[in-house]
Amino acid sequence: MSTFGIIGSGNIGSQVARLAIAQGNDVVIANSRGPETLADLVAELGPRARAATAEEAAAAADVALVAVPLKAYRDVPVEPLAGKIVLDANNYYWERDGRIEALDRGEATTSGLLQEHLPTSKVVKAFNHITAPTITTDGSPAGTKDRRALATASDHPEAVDLVTRFYDEAGFDTVDVGPLSESWRVERDRPAYVVRQNAEELEANLAKAPRIV
């Protein structure tokens, strides 16, 4: 059993919290508005969940998930996440986040930006390219024909291993994209983004992704 620190309680964060609890973990969840605004969600999640500030969620976490608007990634606590695996579900929506030139020019990745912000953490891409409702409905047992696959990427093999196990228990196959520098292949508007695909199809979509869209 581990404690998942969920930073960002929106659609993706709350769904991953449900997965983590279903797998027997505890959850400490935070948002930008304060723990008191999470009372209804925590009541739904049950006794394994509690609300906290982002600092508290990061400190309590054995494993963390960051699922915040990309424009807020620099608000993610740094020191409490030192040495920890941090799942990054962020996506770049310039309409919401404002223009980030390094992303527009294809010189950076969203996960790479978070890794730069969290230099002592082990950032790994996860859950950014699946619509939130299907996180808890599209899983199926290992070996199922056309089992849905999700991608991950990290500079840290132990982080990829953790996400692979977490995906598998949630009912998904895993395709390892490689280092964070390749994680753009599963970002917004690429062929693999929010498409239901098995592992073979996902690999093909990753291979044909354009660097700049």
Kindly indicate the confidence band of residue 213, based on its pLDDT and cuts at 50, 70 and 90. Answer: confident
Burial 179-198 (b: 16+ CB within 10 A, else e): ebebbbbbbbebbbbeeebe
- Mean pLDDT to the nearest integer, 57-74: 98
pLDDT tens per residue, range 108-121: 999 999 999 999 99
Picking from 211, 193, 192, 210, the residue whose alpha carbon sits closest to that of residue 202 is 192
Quote the tokens at residue 144: 């199922």
User: What does the DSSP assignment read for 126-168?
Assistant: -SSSS-GGGGGTS---TT-TT--EEEEEES-HHHHHHHHHHHH
pTM over 0.95: yes
Contacts of 157 (CB under 8 A, 6+ apart): none
pLDDT tens per residue, range 12-48: 999 999 999 999 999 999 999 999 999 999 999 999 9
